[in-house]
């Protein structure tokens, strides 16, 4: 087991595996299938100050090698999270990253301030959602905005801050450096890539929101390359995410420089995937006689 320990700098996890935000809810349904404690950590659905009903349907479409979603950050808001979801998840005994989103900088500050005294692994600031009209992606594409947002949240929160960046940008190293300079403790790379699908019969976009975020196996090479580039640019740990579906994918992300990984869309096809990946990774490091720590960034050498 010690071979699988993941070092995030601000914390050590029993293994590097966690679900990606929005693909696991708050874990209630999954907890009926397996003990959440087997995971390195759990990442929650985005929390915004006010409850949100999200975008009009259809909100998901299957695509070759992946899916498009335009959920639009549906959630029960800060009060809902504090009153119902978080107390339940805290009883499960697994480290928790709360994903935070908003329309403006003040929204992130408000949620971070309200969660500051909670027993959490940290906050994951979602600066990268492609499916909301205000905020979302626009925060994550400008290095200076990333810097300002992260520094303002840093001022009000004692919790570790993980900044989740968008792949919808020319040079990932700019917002990555902005986040690091603003006081981020780690980065999550990547959120979804903007995409769309059109129904050829109705001749209309399929998603109610017109465009959505592409995720799943199709985006893995993109995610891997962005992790690789960011790992060269910053010295804070990176959590890799995008298209992970088997243990080989996990190892690839570690080799590219990720200290831990998140699994999203693939859990929809196989809800037991995460605990299986925990076992498969244990077997892999045993067989290769190595540790997760040794693998992190090893492809750069
Ligand atoms: C249905 C769905 C909902 C999502 N909701 C969120 C969210 O609330 N916050 C967030 O930061 N990312 C959200 N994401 C993005 C995922 O966390 C992840 O970054 C992305 O799907 C890439 O990983 P994957 O290819 O393993 O799915 C969502 C993705 C999907 C498919």
The closest alpha carbon to 245, from 17, 63, 41, belongs to 17
- The pLDDT of residue 230 is 98
Q: Is the dihedral of CA 177, 169, 220, 265 positive or negative?
A: positive
Burial label for 259, CB within 10 Å (0-12, 13-18, 19+), is buried
Q: Ligand 1 centre and the CA of 290: distance in Å?
A: 30
Which one of 81, 192, 253 would you pick to mutate in the ligand 1 pocket, going by the greatest count of ligand atoms within 8 A of its CB?
A: 192
Please give the radius of gyration of the chain, using alpha carbons only, rounded to the nearest integer.
Answer: 18
What is the C-alpha to C-alpha distance for residues 162 and 8, in angstroms, rounded to an integer? Answer: 10
Which one of 215, 216, 269 would you pick to mutate in the ligand 1 pocket, going by the greatest count of ligand atoms within 8 A of its CB?
A: 215
Residues 6+ apart with CB under 8 A from 10: 122, 160, 185, 186
Does the CB atom of residue 23 touch ligand 1 within 6 A?
yes
- The pLDDT of residue 204 is 98
Domain ranges of the chain: 2-52+75-192+217-300
Q: Ligand 1 centre and the CA of 203: distance in Å?
A: 27
Quick check: is 23 catalytic? no
Residue minimizing CA distance to atom 23 of ligand 1: 242
- The pLDDT of residue 131 is 57
Does the CB atom of residue 45 touch ligand 1 within 6 A?
yes
Which one of 20, 129, 273 would you pick to mutate in the ligand 1 pocket, going by the greatest count of ligand atoms within 8 A of its CB?
A: 20
- The pLDDT of residue 128 is 80
Average pLDDT of 254-259? 98
Q: Percent of the chain, pLDDT > 90? A: 93
Residues 6+ apart with CB under 8 A from 84: 76
Burial label for 85, CB within 10 Å (0-12, 13-18, 19+), is buried
Q: Ligand 1 centre and the CA of 185: distance in Å?
A: 21
pLDDT digits (tens, 9 = 90+) for 162-201: 999 999 999 999 999 999 999 999 999 999 999 999 999 9
Cis peptide before 57 (omega within 30 of 0): no
Instruction: Supply the DSSP string of 117-179, one letter for each residue.
Output: TS--SEEEEE---TT-SSSTHHHHT-HHHHHHHHHHHHHH--S-EEEE--S-SS-THHHHHHH
Ligand 1 nearest-atom number relative to CA 128: 11
Q: Which pTM was predicted?
A: 0.97
Beta strand pairing status for 66-69 and 96-100? unpaired
pLDDT digits (tens, 9 = 90+) for 89-114: 999 999 999 999 998 999 999 999 99
Domain 2-52+75-192+217-300 falls under CATH 3.30.420.40: no
Q: Per residue in 179-202, is it b (16+ CB within 10 Å) or e — as a string?
A: bbebbbbbbbbbbbbbbbbeeeee
Does the CB atom of residue 20 touch ligand 1 within 6 A?
yes
Q: Ligand 1 centre and the CA of 23: distance in Å?
A: 6
What is the C-alpha to C-alpha distance for residues 193 and 168, in angstroms, rounded to an integer? Answer: 6
Ligand 1 nearest-atom number relative to CA 59: 1
What is the C-alpha to C-alpha distance for residues 253 and 249, in angstroms, rounded to an integer? Answer: 6
């Amino acid at each position: 087991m010690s071979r699988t320990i993941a070092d995030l700098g601000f914390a050590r996890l029993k293994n590097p595996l966690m679900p990606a935000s929005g693909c696991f809810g708050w874990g209630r349904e999954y907890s009926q299938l397996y003990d959440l404690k087997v995971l390195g950590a759990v990442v929650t659905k985005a929390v915004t100050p006010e409850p949100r009903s999200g975008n009009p349907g259809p909100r998901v479409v299957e695509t070759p090698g992946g899916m498009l979603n335009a959920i639009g950050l549906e959630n029960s808001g800060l009060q809902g999270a504090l009153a119902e979801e978080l107390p339940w998840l805290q009883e499960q005994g697994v480290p928790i990253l709360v994903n935070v989103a908003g329309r403006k900088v003040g929204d992130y500050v408000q949620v971070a301030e309200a969660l500051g005294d909670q027993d959490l692994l940290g906050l994951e600031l979602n600066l990268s959602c492609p499916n909301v009209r205000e905020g979302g992606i626009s925060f994550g594409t400008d290095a200076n905005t990333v810097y300002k947002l992260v520094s303002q949240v840093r001022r009000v929160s004692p919790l570790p801050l993980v900044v989740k960046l968008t792949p919808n940008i020319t040079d990932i190293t700019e917002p990555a450096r902005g986040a690091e300079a603003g006081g981020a403790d780690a980065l999550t790379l990547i959120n979804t890539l903007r995409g769309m699908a059109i129904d050829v019969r109705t001749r209309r976009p399929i998603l109610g929101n017109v465009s959505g975020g592409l995720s799943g196996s199709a985006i893995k090479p993109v995610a891997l390359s962005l992790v690789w580039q960011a790992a060269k640019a910053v010295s804070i740990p990176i959590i890799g995410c995008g298209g992970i579906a088997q243990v080989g994918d996990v190892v690839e992300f570690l080799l590219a420089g990720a200290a831990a990984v998140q699994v999203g869309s693939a859990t929809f096809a196989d809800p037991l995937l995460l605990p299986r990946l925990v076992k498969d990774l244990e077997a892999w490091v045993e067989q290769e006689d190595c540790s997760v720590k040794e693998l992190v960034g090893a492809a750069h050498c």
